[in-house]
Structure 1
Amino acid sequence: MTDLGHLDDTDIDLAIDEGEADARRATELAARLRRVAAQDPDLAQDLVEGLIVALDRAMGGTIRDHLDGPALGVADRVLQAPEQG
């Protein structure tokens, strides 16, 4: 690769399209949740459950249609629980 002064062009990390940018943001969100879980598992669980509820609302109650396996089981459990407020 070409050396641009002290910057090697392999250090440049640009998203090719919006889909790739979205995937990178999702990856970063997952990494942040892992860091929270390492320090405070209960907080991480609360965040994930809140995210499931918010996504379900935003998607008109169809989040389950986009999940499978363990994620679907968690969504079922969270969405069937009575809302606390």
Structure 2
Amino acid sequence: MTDIGQLDDTDIDLPIDEGEAGERRATELATRLRAVAAEDPDLAQDLVEGLIVALDRAMGGTIREHLDGPALGVAERVLQVPEQGR
């Protein structure tokens, strides 16, 4: 007979909570964007800009309050473009 040792909570695959699920989806999105960027940087930039616009709409125009550094600079640039021009 083989002794498999003690099991603890980390050995059990339990359903994750919504916060962890959101983090996993965000990580997967970032991974996919990096893969696209490696193949087609212009497409990746277009996707990121579209995502910023969509998030700003979904957040009632407050995306800038949640960003800083280079991400804020990109958002400022993208969100200054008139909607008719997109």
User: Which structure has the higher relative contact order (CA within 8 Å, separation 6+)?
Assistant: 2
Does residue 76 of the first structure (1) align with residue 79 of the second (2)?
A: no
Measured on the aligned residues, the alpha-carbon RMSD in Å equals: 2.1
- 2:50 counterpart letter in structure 1: G
* Deviation, structure 1 residue 18: 1.1
Please list every run of 5 or more consecutive structure 2 residues that lacks an aligned counterpart in the other structure.
5-9
Distance 1:77 1:20 in 2: 31
By percentage of residues, which structure has more strand?
1
Q: TM-score, normalised by structure 2?
A: 0.79
TM-score (structure 1 length as normaliser): 0.80
Deviations 1:1-37 (A, max 9, x none): x5xxxxxx96x76553110111000000000000000
2-structure distance, mates of 1:19, 1:39:
31
Computing the radius of gyration from Cα coordinates, the structure with the larger value is 2
Gaps of 5+ in 1: 3-8
Identity of aligned residues (%): 82
Confirm or deny: 8 A CA contact 1:15 1:21 kept in the other structure: no
How many residues are matched?
78
Amino acid at match of 2:38: A
